[in-house]
Amino acid sequence: MSTENNPGSRDLLVSSLLEAAIKISLLALLLIWCFQIIKPFISLILWGGILAIALYPVFTWLKKRFARGNLLTASMIAVPLLLLIIVPMIFISESLIETTANLVDKYEQGQLVVPPPSQRIADLPLLGDKVYDIWNQFAVNATEAAKNFQPQIKSLGKWLLTLSANMGMTTLLFMTSVILAAFLMTQAVVIRSFFVKVFSRINKQGGDDLVGLSIGTIRSVAQGVIGIAFIQALLAAPALLLMGIPAAGLLILGILLLAIIQVPTSLIIFPVIAYAYSIGDATYATIFAIWMVLVGLSDNVLKPIMLGRGVNVPMLIILLGALGGMLMSGIIGLFTGAVVLALGYTLFIAWVNTDDEQAVTGA
């Protein structure tokens, strides 16, 4: 009997649909409300989770090696990491403050002296002449040149202040993430079990595999992006120090940050090479230039080796996910983008192969 001929059944259906719509609306409202509450902490939670996953092999090794509890083992990782962040930032801050104060003091007293540029700077292709001309103006009369370029200097100053503020907030975020990562490592078994249940709702037979893929992808990106960035910074450090390049510490930090955010390190390397030619012997400057160019190109060799290692997903998928995620969500998108694309690729391949598996089972 159809509902059209039974008003009671029609009313019951309408009532059920209305009740379902109200429940769904309330659930959606609750989820949106929860999201708005937790939204300010999403970056912190993601970074904490990423660090915990990347450092968990170290955590398990230390726990087996020293036979300590979870909390003490996590502290053995967190405390050195915090010191590794805090101590360099203190030195960099002191150096910036002292350098800025000296420059301002000399400028106000008219004693700011800039060494004249070498003719080799003018011989450099593309921007050599312009760089030589601007540099020479500051070498002849720094005070007058500063007045001529006052708008650009003000813009640079504002940019540096903004950069310093962002670096301060990023440092604070990273320090908090390290503390959160230490806590998450102590609860790794419980957290993994929870995510296995979540992923099992997506793929009943592959929940554990999807969790393993997510963990492997994050570690792969950590090795292939952050690991390579540290290698490039470490390779550049001795060359910059031996060549006597001013503010070598800041340049090393700049190379590290550019490599992490996947911006060519040549933005720092080429100007430094030009400066090396202007102040040093041509032979030493050439050796320095060759080494620094190799440092800049090293990620092209190391990335295919390290990115995607230990993950049953093509390296191109990981790379596209990391780069696309970074363009969409910043540095943290390197990890989230790679994980999401790797999961999507895996689920898609599993769906494509479903018919083949069913055919084999049926046979």
Rounded CA-CA distance 311/213 in Å is 7
Tokens representing residue 339 in the block: 């994980």
Question: Best-predicted range by mean pLDDT among 47-61, 293-307, 321-335?
Answer: 47-61
What pLDDT does residue 210 have? 82
Per-residue H/E/C for 19-53: HHHHHHHHHHHHHHHHHHHHHHHHHHHHHHHHHHH
What pLDDT does residue 120 have? 64
What pLDDT does residue 313 have? 75
Confidence of residue 281 (pLDDT cuts 50, 70, 90): confident
Confidence of residue 1 (pLDDT cuts 50, 70, 90): very low
Would you tell me how many other CB atoms lie within 10 Å of the CB of residue 283?
Answer: 8
What pLDDT does residue 163 have? 63
Confidence of residue 363 (pLDDT cuts 50, 70, 90): very low
What pLDDT does residue 8 have? 65
pLDDT over 50 at 319, yes or no: yes
What pLDDT does residue 110 have? 63
| 301 DSSP 8-state letter | H
Judge contact between 342 and 217, C-beta under 8 A. Answer: yes
What pLDDT does residue 334 have? 75
pTM for the full predicted model: 0.66
What pLDDT does residue 352 have? 78
Judge contact between 181 and 53, C-beta under 8 A. Answer: no
When pLDDT is averaged across residues 229-253 and rounded to a whole number, the result is 83
Rounded CA-CA distance 78/11 in Å is 62
pLDDT over 90 at 54, yes or no: no
- Condensed to tens digits (0 to 9), the pLDDT of residues 2-36 reads 555 666 677 777 788 888 899 999 999 999 999 99
**DSSP per residue, 228-278:** HHHHHHHHHHHHHHHTT-TTHHHHHHHHHHHHHTT--THHHHHHHHHHHHH
